[in-house]
Structure formats: C-alpha cells, structure tokens
C-alpha cells in the first residue's frame, strides 16, 4: 500500500496560508489602532490637568476587540475611531475584512465539511446497506441477478 501525502500537504498549506492571511490582517489592524487611537482614561491613576479630558492610547486588547467588532460588522460603538484618517482606514479595513477574511473562513469550513462528507459517504458505502443484493432465481446456489444498491 502506497501513501500519497501530496493532497494532505496541499490541504495543510492552503489552510496555513488562509490562517496566516487572517492573522496578518488582524495584526495590521491591531498595530494601527494601538499606535494611532486614544480613549478616555479608565483607570484611577491618570494624571491630567484639571478641566481637561485625560486620554490614554488604546491597549492591544482594545485594538483587537475593535478589529473583531468592525470586521464582523457588529459595531457596538463603545470604541470609535477619532480622526478622519482613522475613519478612512477603518472603512477600508472593514471592507477587506468582510471580503477577504470571511471568504478565507468560508473556504476553510467548506473544506472541513467536504472532507467529513467524503469520510461519512465512504463509511456508509463500506459498512451499510449499499452493497448490491444477489438473487438466485433458479436455485442453483449461484447469484443470477444483482439488484443495485440504493443511491446515496
């Protein structure tokens, strides 16, 4: 029995590429928002002049949260881009997130379900009632006719 590993490697490399593109997309958004955006201070250790609004940069978690919320088109509104350039970047970022990342995700899920469907179909053909039924018409001990199995 020979093993052909090429299809498995192609599947793995395709999956790895899709994961890398999706993670790269998230990293670009997280780095941009962590470097550019600011929010009102949430902690008690903010030191600001009285009468001014204390601002702090978005954390990595804030940036990742905003990227996921924007890409998934949920948009809670608790974090928002503050400048025109950030809003423009967010528009382009969300468009590509919807177009590219969701396409990548859908093809990954489709390949998993396709493999699962093939495995179930092969198991069913091998172990269930898909074998043709042999009929001995003249009672000589040998099958004269094979009744086809049901279609799957």
147 within 8 A of 133, measured Cβ to Cβ: yes
DSSP code, position 82: -
Please give the pLDDT value at position 1.
44
Which tokens in the block code for residue 43?
Answer: 């902690």
Alpha-helical regions (H) of 37-152: 60-71, 84-96, 102-127
Closest Cα partner for 67 from 27, 39, 121, 15? 27
Please give the pLDDT value at position 128.
66
Please give the pLDDT value at position 86.
92
Please give the pLDDT value at position 149.
67
Please give the pLDDT value at position 61.
94
Closest Cα partner for 131 from 119, 114, 143? 143
Give the residue ranges of the chain where pLDDT is below 70. Answer: 1-7, 43-47, 49-51, 128-131, 149-152
């Amino acid at each position: 029995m020979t093993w052909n590993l090429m299809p498995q490697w192609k599947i793995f490399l395709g999956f790895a590429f899709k994961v890398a593109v999706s993670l790269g997309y998230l990293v670009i958004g997280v780095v941009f928002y962590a470097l550019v955006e600011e929010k009102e201070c949430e902690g008690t250790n903010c030191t600001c002049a009285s009468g001014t609004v204390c601002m702090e940069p978005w954390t990595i978690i804030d940036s990742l949260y905003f990227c996921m919320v924007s890409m998934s088109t949920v948009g809670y509104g608790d974090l928002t881009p503050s400048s025109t350039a950030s809003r423009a970047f967010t528009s382009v970022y969300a468009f590509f997130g919807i177009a590219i990342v969701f396409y990548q995700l859908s093809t990954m899920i489709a390949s998993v379900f396709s493999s699962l469907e093939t495995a179930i179909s092969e198991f069913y053909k091998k172990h269930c009632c898909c074998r043709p039924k042999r009929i001995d018409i003249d009672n000589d001990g040998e099958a004269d006719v094979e009744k086809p199995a049901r279609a799957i």
